[in-house]
Amino acid sequence: ETGVTQSPTHLIKTRGQQVTLRCSSQSGHNTVSWYQQALGQGPQFIFQYYREEENGRGNFPPRFSGLQFPNYSSELNVNALELDDSALYLCASSLGAGRETQYFGPGTRLLVL
Amino acid sequence: AQSVTQLDSQVPVFEEAPVELRCNYSSSVSVYLFWYVQYPNQGLQLLLKYLSGSTLVKGINGFEAEFNKSQTSFHLRKPSVHISDTAEYFCAVRERRETSGSRLTFGEGTQLTVNP
């Protein structure tokens, strides 16, 4: 059974640029959630995708957007990057959008200069 | 809305000593409870979870946690720690509902440092 994978592992962008982060969910999982973890803090929920539809959103501006594909992999897009967007971005997958446990990938570390 | 408070930001202990990492939560509805561990430069690994049933939950690596509904707590314990337990530990809650859109709310984390 393959776990959750994310790419790239690290990247550096400059303020104002756009970035796309990718996530492959664990085999059989149809739900993907994205979290932002700033340095020294706990993860904060960005949004969740269930069967290709956005299924809940945290307190993040619209420049944070996402997609889920028919194979349940997902992308997180961030436009007009700001310095405060520097963080570890975590993807988590689960069997469904209800009570099922979320399993996390290793994360993508984004640095905005 | 729910919130999680991890009462200690840092917990230093000696190897083979017992440890307790404290977590309190606030929610207007019933919740599921989780503890995750994060090793340096890695993602989150699930240690244990409370969904229902027995309030004492056993997880991986010898950890256990007890759900106390009256005190809204879910403290994590280990009777004897190892150097390899050095990591950041996160307590998280999730609303108990079957509808879509449930999310994890995390605490700020507790850095456990095990010294020789």
What is the spatial distance between Cα A82 and Cα A4, in angstroms, rounded to a whole number?
27
Residue A65, exposed/middle/buried by CB under 10 A (0-12, 13-18, 19+)? middle
Local confidence pLDDT in tens for the 116 residues of chain B: 789 999 999 999 999 999 999 999 998 888 899 999 999 888 899 999 998 889 999 999 999 999 999 999 999 999 999 999 999 999 999 887 655 456 899 999 999 999 99
At B94, give phi and psi (nearest 5°): -145, 135
Least confident residue range of A44-58, A91-105, B8-22, B62-76: A91-105
A55–B100: do the CB atoms touch at under 8 Å?
yes
Pick from B90, B101, B108: CB nearest A48: B101
What is the spatial distance between Cα A23 and Cα A27, in angstroms, rounded to a whole number?
12
Tokens 């994205």, residue? Answer: A34
Identify the pLDDT of residue B9: 96
- Residues B51, A99: contact at Cβ < 8 Å? yes
B32–A48: do the CB atoms touch at under 8 Å?
no
Interface with chain B: mutation pick from A4, A10, A25, A37, highest number of B CBs within 10 Å: A37
Nearest CA in chain A to B45: A104
β-pairing, A108-112 vs A10-13, is parallel
H or E element, residue B12: strand B10-14
Nearest CA in chain B to A51: B100
Nearest to A101 by CA among B58, B32, B59: B32
CA distance B36 to chain A (A): 10
Token couple for A77: 């897009």
Token couple for A55: 């299924």
For the segment A9-31, the average pLDDT, to the nearest whole number, is: 94
Average pLDDT, chain A: 92
For the segment A12-39, the average pLDDT, to the nearest whole number, is: 94
A95 in B contact zone (CB under 8 Å): no
Pick from A4, A41, A99: CB nearest B98: A99
For the segment A56-74, the average pLDDT, to the nearest whole number, is: 94
What is the spatial distance between Cα B14 and Cα B24, in angstroms, rounded to a whole number?
25
Nearest CA in chain A to B99: A98
Identify the pLDDT of residue B1: 78
Identify the pLDDT of residue B96: 77
DSSP string, A77-110: EE-S--GGG-EEEEEEEESSSSSPPPEE---EEE
Pick from B42, B97, B106: CB nearest A43: B106
Identify the pLDDT of residue B103: 86
Identify the pLDDT of residue A98: 63
What is the spatial distance between Cα B1 and Cα A53, in angstroms, rounded to a whole number?
23
